[in-house]
Structure 1
Amino acid sequence: MYFLPVILGSDWNVYGVASAIHMAYGVKSIAFAIHKQIYTEHLDYLTVYPKDGFDTKEVFVNVLLDFAKSKETANKKLLLISCSDYYTKLICEFEDILSEYYLFNYVDNNLRIKLENKKDFYQVADKYGLAYPNTLIINKENHKDYKLKFDFPIICKPNDSVEYVKIHFPGYKKAYTIEDKEELDRILHLIYENGYTGEMILQDFIPGGVENMYVVNAYVDKNHNVLMTHGARTALDECEPRNIGNYNALISGDYSELTANVKKFLEDINYTGFANFDFKYDPRDKKYKVFEINIRQGRSSMYMIYAGNNFIKYLVEDMIYNNSNEYYDHKKPHLWYLTAKSVLLKYTPAELKDYVKELLADNKTSSYGFDYYKYKNINRFIVALRRKLSTIRYYKKYMG
């Protein structure tokens, strides 16, 4: 049975999804996006179609419906895969229309609303037993008059990431570590003066650095059965201001306590589809505390493929072939990284350096997380090389 993956976006996430599909099934994908990006250029197994206004509801729906009715899709099952929070939102909102032509697996729109914004997600997490940091929610009206219930330093981040990503200003970051009230007031002023209208989240800063950060990806089939969980510990995070919060090195392994909590939570809330969680371990009370859930596979999901767990198979087997699988929790150690090796070795936290070197020595690592297909395509070889060299430059700039 032939299927055609229709991916939404053109970034790292799209590269990972299209590569995973090609690795597993030898199938070529197409993608729709606002514009092309270098991450998904020059790939024989992916064609990106840029569409003006694709981030508007009318264009989004019309493009997908027109494509579904075209000759190109005759006798093919169309598998729709989102690679951004915004496209996930649109799929959920237009589920009734799109489901006539496409196969996809996402939560219903009511559950999406509860999980998408961090404020609402924390209420759900609290109800179902997922720990999260002490939190204060403020808005545009009261951002000059608030009282913290915890001490500095704190984390400051937007509640509505879909709206926030559309604004721009000097010093823009996905999230801020704030040392004092003066700095916090300045950042809040910048955010609201530059057009953001949603709520902001102020959170207790959990001690420790990137070495205490963890990620879990999961897949829940259309019948609400959790089929896969895969946890990883962060060895290196992104340092460019606009990309802070993304991962550049992840260590897969046995994180059973964490993945068991995720599995139970997803079952309790009657979830479906991919889910991506960010956690930080709090040494003060020895709890893993959740920051957010993404209602899709994570941007760095290729870490799972290189560890021997091709995440896309769970979706394809479920939605295209209607095959059921037993639950799989990945536990084998593996290092995935997306920088030059010299950057990895220099900037990995001291606590993890020896383990990273051990994994490298034992070949329990991907050679480089952006190298799929580079030896079959000189343009992809150049893209991968430029990425490596750029990490040497910008880590030195931002990390010293």
Structure 2
Amino acid sequence: MKFVEQVFRPVILGGDITAYSLVRSFYEQYKVKSLVVNMSHGGAVARSRLCDVLTYEKLENKDVLLAALEEVGRKYGDKKLIVFGCGDWYVRMLIENKASLSRYYVIPYIDEALMNRIVLKDKFYAICDELDIPHPRTFVYDCKEKTPLTYDFDYPIIAKTANSAMYHYSKFPGKKKVFKFNSKAELEQMLANLAGSSYDYKFLIQEYIPGEDSNMRVLTCYSDQNAKVRFAALGHVLLEEHTPSALGNPCCIFNEVNEEVVAQATRFLEHVGYTGYSNFDLKYDPRDGKFKFFEINIRLGRSNYYVTGSGFNTVKLIVEDLIFGREIPYHIADQENLFTFVPKSVIKKYVADDAARAKALELIKKGRWCNPLFCKDDRSLYHIFYSRMAFFNQNRKFKRFF
């Protein structure tokens, strides 16, 4: 294993598969050794040879996090440090504290005002309406005002938070990331439980878009410093995780191209003046043949290696744009590849769409697939063991929760 000295060094907050994907991407593109700042010694980055891990207890505390970042900035400030958050809260802290952190770090995220305008899902849907971008029909329930439930769509319905950051800290019986209800009584019981928690913003009640996991799509875009979209990669989701804590996270994706969907996302991003990476969740609606936009995430997602693994390294765009100031030619990810951190046995058993399942198995057969944790250059015995155990443990998880 060989590292190359660069004028920059990545600093990555977190230790999960998102963090490891970024660590791996930076190594594969630039042979640079990332710094990972984590709250424990475990996780996907543990004992990896691709990064140095700095551990700070109670990193979920704002003061601890900011003190850690200042310490790292002073110690490693001989290079341009570019910092990434592998969780919504980390990204929010970086954005809210840009003024003080920018003396140490390049922060590749939008400003606070725009973040607050688009990450709240009720506001996101309002912009979609303005730009004629399809999304599920939605009723907004105000938790403070106890809005009367007057929606007019049929059951089943979907209920989810409009403010993920606030919802993260709430505690109440039966809490889930996304709810699916078959009656008004079920919804009212959840809202009653929610009322006893710290969450007091809005909850979204939506029509259910029919279809299996394989109707989902994920779209990753990059907008340069001039707020122009320079890159897009659409992923066709075959399977999502079904464990309660990770429900809805894609775990099996292959690349495809859809110019209409990319044009819709571009219209949104350039309208609001977005910069950096964005990540959209969509679902194909068989009733009208349209893709419905669910939400925007203002960072690279947990499954971001589906982009790098298909031949379009995510971190290259950031470095070219923000470190070297080079112009990025517009391009779309158009090479087929399967991203998966579940084994073939799970794909065979749980992917409901026959055509999608057959295509995934064909890509595996052709060797055109990747698992973000399977890195041939990372010869840490601990990491090799961890990545294989995590991979095959998916059989047990799907058997229990699917």
Indicate yes or no: 2:212 matched with 1:215.
no
Q: Is the 8 A contact 2:239 2:253 kept in 1?
A: yes
Q: How does 1:298-337 map to 2 (within 5 A)?
A: 298-337=301-340
Distance 1:17 1:162 in 2: 22
Q: Pick from 33, 36, 39: which aligns with 2:38? A: 33
Indicate yes or no: 2:358 matched with 1:354.
yes
* Superimposed CA distance per residue, residues 99-120 of structure 1 (whole angstroms, 9 cap, x where no aligned partner): 2221122212111110111111
For residue 97 of structure 1, what is the amino acid of its counterpart? S
Q: Is the 8 A contact 1:281 1:288 kept in 2?
A: yes
- Aligned match of 2:12: 7
* 1:41 aligned counterpart, secondary structure: coil
Q: How does 1:60-71 map to 2 (within 5 A)?
A: 60-70=65-75
Indicate yes or no: 2:303 matched with 1:287.
no
Distance 1:37 1:226 in 2: 36
* 1:309 aligned counterpart, secondary structure: coil
* Superimposed CA distance per residue, residues 36-77 of structure 1 (whole angstroms, 9 cap, x where no aligned partner): 44222111122332323433333332222232122x332x11
For residue 327 of structure 1, what is the amino acid of its counterpart? Y
Q: Is the 8 A contact 1:237 1:247 kept in 2?
A: yes
Q: Pick from 145, 149, 160: which aligns with 1:146? A: 149
- Aligned match of 1:271: 274
Q: How many residues align?
A: 396
Q: Is the 8 A contact 1:374 1:380 kept in 2?
A: no
Distance 1:98 1:64 in 2: 8
Instruction: Kindly state the Cα deviation for residue 230 of structure 1 after the two structures are TM-superposed.
Output: 0.3
Distance 1:51 1:379 in 2: 21
* 2:143 aligned counterpart, secondary structure: coil
* Superimposed CA distance per residue, residues 349-381 of structure 1 (whole angstroms, 9 cap, x where no aligned partner): 233222222222333322x34211476121111
- Aligned match of 2:104: 101
Distance 2:314 2:53 in 1: 22
Instruction: Kindly state the Cα deviation for residue 161 of structure 1 after the two structures are TM-superposed.
Output: 0.7
- Aligned match of 1:133: 136
Q: Is the 8 A contact 2:13 2:86 kept in 1?
A: yes
* Superimposed CA distance per residue, residues 295-317 of structure 1 (whole angstroms, 9 cap, x where no aligned partner): 11111001111111111100011
Distance 1:264 1:37 in 2: 41
Q: Pick from 54, 62, 69: which aligns with 2:59? A: 54
Q: Is the 8 A contact 2:218 2:282 kept in 1?
A: yes
Instruction: Kindly state the Cα deviation for residue 21 of structure 1 after the two structures are TM-superposed.
Output: 0.5
Distance 1:333 1:180, change over 3 A: same
Instruction: Kindly state the Cα deviation for residue 195 of structure 1 after the two structures are TM-superposed.
Output: 3.2
* 1:363 aligned counterpart, secondary structure: coil
* Superimposed CA distance per residue, residues 135-154 of structure 1 (whole angstroms, 9 cap, x where no aligned partner): 11113345584222211111
* 1:323 aligned counterpart, secondary structure: coil
Q: Which segments of 5 or more consecutive residues in structure 1 lack a partner in the other structure?
A: none
Indicate yes or no: 2:399 matched with 1:379.
no
Instruction: Kindly state the Cα deviation for residue 389 of structure 1 after the two structures are TM-superposed.
Output: 2.5
TM-score, scaled to structure 2: 0.93
Distance 2:191 2:38 in 1: 31
Distance 1:79 1:359 in 2: 34
Distance 1:373 1:168, change over 3 A: farther
* 2:311 aligned counterpart, secondary structure: coil
Please, which moves more after superposition, 180-189 or 106-115?
A: 180-189
* 2:153 aligned counterpart, secondary structure: coil
TM-score, scaled to structure 1: 0.93
Q: Is the 8 A contact 1:281 1:289 kept in 2?
A: yes
* 1:23 aligned counterpart, secondary structure: helix
Distance 1:45 1:120 in 2: 40
* Superimposed CA distance per residue, residues 219-275 of structure 1 (whole angstroms, 9 cap, x where no aligned partner): 111122222100011111101011111011001022222122212321222110110
- Aligned match of 1:242: 245
Distance 2:263 2:147 in 1: 41
Distance 1:369 1:78, change over 3 A: closer
Q: Pick from 115, 120, 127: which aligns with 1:117? A: 120
Distance 2:160 2:41 in 1: 28
Distance 2:17 2:171 in 1: 21
Q: Is the 8 A contact 2:98 2:107 kept in 1?
A: no
Indicate yes or no: 2:175 matched with 1:166.
no
Distance 2:147 2:42 in 1: 39
For residue 309 of structure 2, what is the amino acid of its counterpart? Y
Distance 2:321 2:147 in 1: 50
Identity %: 30
* 1:344 aligned counterpart, secondary structure: helix
Distance 1:365 1:377 in 2: 22
Distance 1:262 1:231 in 2: 11
Distance 1:36 1:262, change over 3 A: farther
Aligned Cα root-mean-square deviation (Å): 1.9
- Aligned match of 2:3: none
Distance 1:191 1:377 in 2: 44
Distance 1:58 1:397 in 2: 39
* 1:79 aligned counterpart, secondary structure: strand
- Aligned match of 2:28: 23
* Superimposed CA distance per residue, residues 75-100 of structure 1 (whole angstroms, 9 cap, x where no aligned partner): x1111112222122222212222222
Please, which moves more after superposition, 235-244 or 260-269?
A: 260-269
Distance 1:348 1:116 in 2: 30
Distance 2:52 2:182 in 1: 45
Q: Is the 8 A contact 1:80 1:103 kept in 2?
A: yes
Q: Which segments of 5 or more consecutive residues in structure 2 lack a partner in the other structure?
A: 1-5
